[in-house]
Amino acid sequence: MTKLYIAVPCYNEEEVLPDSSARLFDRMNRLIDGGMITPDSRIVFIDDGSTDRTWELIEKLHAHHPMFCGIKLSRNRGHQNALMAGLMTLKDEADAVISIDADLQDDIEVFDEMLCKLDEGCDVVYGVRSKRDTDTFFKRFTAEGYYKILEKMGAKVIFNHADFRLMSRRALQAFAQYGEVNLFLRGMVPLVGYRSDIVTYERSERLAGESKYPLKKMLSLAWEGITSLSTKPIKFVTRLGLIIFLISIVMLLYFFIRFLCGATVTGWASLAVSIWAIGGLQLLAIGIIGEYIGKIYLETKRRPRYIIETYLKD
Ligand code: UDP
Ligand code: MG
């Protein structure tokens, strides 16, 4: 039997927490009754510095039943860091940890299947959405396009998998060796290796409250993913520079031949345009390289990814 921990990052989730906790509790009890997990399995909420009553609710749940535990971060650090805090705190306590969002958009009924795959010897089981009916056209289009771009950039990501996955203790302990502070978990987990498999499910709508991932945060996560997993953008810039340089040589030759033929080059427009074009490209190139230097800067500081204020257990 598996000692299963569920890690649930929560940021201002007072609206969904009562309902999600009840559903998770019921689900865990069914698994315990079915003999799939041990009775000392836990549901652990990670409060990512919420400003509403989220932590209060977690404390109440913990007082109500020992199955509920809570980790309180000292301030808001974002979904990826909160999840990492959970996984790293639980890695030595559980046999396996399933991470899932607080709004339970991911299907808790596939826990069974995940546990079966674990028994079959998989160390990582990815939850993959079969359909995206509940997403808006815009989100579906951008998300699926994004996964394809990531793949082109050479990153190993599981198509249509977000952060709903099961990891065994062994996988978590290997994962703990990744010390980077710029986190994009769904791209990092496949790097660990070990046997893995997927389970598919239909993603439902958020139970209540609103998305804690506004467009701005989503774009920043997307950019994080590309720059954390791939150095292709830098290589692209180098290649672009080379091509433009070659074009300028061709242009130079052309104008020189025209000059020899006696036709003077008139028009400063082409000149002005090329100055602007090259200038803009250079700035862009420096900007992209700067992004990476910024990352190196953050990594070399080795700041903690999160600070745990309280850990409510047993
Ligand atoms: N979340 C978090 N910290 C943040 C933002 C979000 O821990 O700064 C959590 C949030 O509570 C939820 C999960 O990340 O459990 C995913 O957020 P959400 O469901 O709003 O994202 P969406 O499903 O809309 O992409
Ligand atoms: Mg959600």
pLDDT digits over 5-34, tens only?
Answer: 999 999 999 999 999 999 999 999 999 999
| Residue 101, SS3 per DSSP | coil
For ligand 2, a single-atom ion, the residues with CB < 5 A are 101, 103, 105
Phi/psi of residue 192, each to 5°?
A: -65, -35
Contacts of 298 (CB under 8 A, 6+ apart): 181, 182
- Per-residue pLDDT at 163: 92
Per-residue pLDDT, averaged over 91-109, amounts to 93
Confidence at residue 116, expressed as pLDDT on a 0 to 100 scale: 94
Q: Which tens digit of pLDDT belongs to each residue from 40-85?
A: 999 999 999 999 999 999 999 999 999 999 999 999 999 999 999 9
Within 13 A of 289's CA, how many CA atoms are on the CB side? Answer: 10
DSSP 8-state secondary structure symbol assigned to residue 208 = S
User: pTM here?
Assistant: 0.78
Q: Which of 13, 44, 79, 205 to mutate to test the pocket of ligand 1 (most atoms within 8 A of CB)?
A: 79
Residue pair 7/93 in contact (Cβ under 8 Å)? The answer is no
Q: Which residue's alpha carbon is at the smallest distance from atom 25 of ligand 1?
A: 213
Nearest residue (by CA) to ligand 1, atom 19, is 211
Please indicate whether residue 76, judged by its CB atom, sits closer than 6 Å to ligand 1. Answer: yes
**Residue positions counted in the chain:** 314
- Residue 193's identity, in one-letter code, is G
| pLDDT value of residue 96 | 95
pLDDT band at 4; cut points 50, 70, 90? very high
- Report whether pLDDT(267) > 70: no
Reply yes or no on whether the pLDDT at 177 is more than 80: yes
- CA 19 to chain CA mean position, Å: 25
Whether the CB of 47 sits within 6 Å of ligand 1: no
For residue 84, the ligand closest to its alpha carbon is 1
Average pLDDT, integer, range 98-113: 93
pLDDT at 264: 67
Ligand 1 center to residue 6 CA distance, Å? Answer: 16
Helices and strands, number each (H, E), in the chain = 10, 8
Q: Which amino acid is at 273?
A: V
Strand ranges for 22-148 from DSSP E: 42-47, 68-73, 96-99, 124-131
Q: Are 236 and 142 in contact (CB under 8 A)?
A: no
How confident is the model at residue 87, as a pLDDT? 96
Pocket lining: 105 vs ligand 1, CB cutoff 6 Å: yes
The atom number, within ligand 1, closest to the CA of 218 reads 25
Q: pLDDT tier at 210 (50, 70, 90 boundaries)? A: confident
Please say whether the dihedral angle defined by the alpha carbons of residues 31, 34, 37 and 40, taken in this order, is positive or negative: positive
pLDDT at 211 over 90: no
Atom of ligand 1 nearest to the CA of 105: 23
Residue type, 252: L
Q: Ligand 1: distance of its center to the CA of 12 in Å?
A: 9
Most informative mutation of 50, 101, 165, 221 for ligand 1 (most atoms within 8 A of CB) = 101
CB 107 within 8 A of CB 202: yes
- Evaluate whether 105 touches 23 at the Cβ level (below 8 Å): no
pLDDT band at 272 (very low <50, low <70, confident <90, very high): low
- Give the residue with greater pLDDT, 286 vs 277: 286
Rg (CA), the chain: 25
pLDDT for the residue numbered 265: 61
pLDDT score for 268: 59
- List residues bridging with 96 in a β-sheet: 4, 168
Residue with tokens 């030759």: 253
DSSP string, 272-304: HHHHHHHHHHHHHHHHHHHHHHHHHHHHHHT--
- The yes-or-no verdict on residue 202 having pLDDT over 80 is yes
d(CA 299, CA 288): 17
